[in-house]
Amino acid sequence: MLLYFKPGACSLSVRIILNELNLPFESVEVDTQTGMTIDGADYRAINPKGYVPALQIEPGIVLTENPVILQYLPDLRPQAGLAPAAGTLDRIRLQEWLNFTSSELHKAFGPWFSGRALEENEQSRAEINLARRIDDVERGLSDGRCFILGQTFTVADAYLFVVLNWSGFIGFDLARWPKVAAHVARIAMRPAVRAALVAEGLLQEETA
């Protein structure tokens, strides 16, 4: 398999799951601004949408959209337990969290990645909206569960971790949400996560 990624972007969650499942893969960095891969290929010829991730599962077959890829991979090795079985209510709950993370939480970080400085009123509105979405995650963890679906790590946790971890890059303190902060810290300690962070230059190897 071949993962097209941008360091620190949501494609990081796919790398985490590939690591967790010990699936062999290669990766190619993408500059989504220029639309080119690091080796000079036209990325839009691979994924016309222009954003990451994209996962080539075999020559000529490319998957896009994070929630899709994050369900495809654990179904290759269901014994690893990274996603509930298809057709179960637990699988629907997984899809709920994947879709929420993609359509609401991820989007709430968008203003900080617009490529320009936010004006004061924009910053205030963006912070209120982001806080509302993090409130949703805090409620999801409010019963003391270790992971978002219960006591088992799933692909939904990987995606939540990557997006919530952006708070550090924009200087948005998670201390107001102790269960969310603890969840991020817990996921960050997983060996597969630390290896993924090192691979994308987000963590120094000697501290991993």
Per-residue model confidence (pLDDT) at position 89: 98
Residue-wise pLDDT for 137-147, tens only, equals 999 999 999 99
Residue 184 lies in domain: 83-190
pLDDT score of 207 more than 80: no
**Residue 89, token pair as written in the block:** 């209510």
What does the pLDDT look like over 173-193, one tens digit per residue?
999 999 999 999 999 999 999
Instruction: Determine the average pLDDT of the residues in 8-22.
Output: 98
First and final CA of the chain: distance in angstroms?
25
CATH code, domain with 137: 1.20.1050.10
CATH number of the CATH domain containing 74: 3.40.30.10
Sheet of strand 26-31, all strands in order from the earlier edge strand to the far edge: 36-37, 26-31, 2-5, 54-58, 61-64
Domains in the chain, number? 2
Q: Quote the CA–CA distance of 197 and 208 in Å, as a whole number.
A: 8
Checking if the pLDDT of 206 tops 70, the result is no
Q: Are residues 46 and 134 in the same domain?
A: no
Please indicate, yes or no, whether residues 163 and 105 belong to a single structural domain of this protein.
yes
Q: How confident is the model at residue 117 (pLDDT cuts 50, 70, 90)?
A: confident
- pLDDT at position 115 is 80
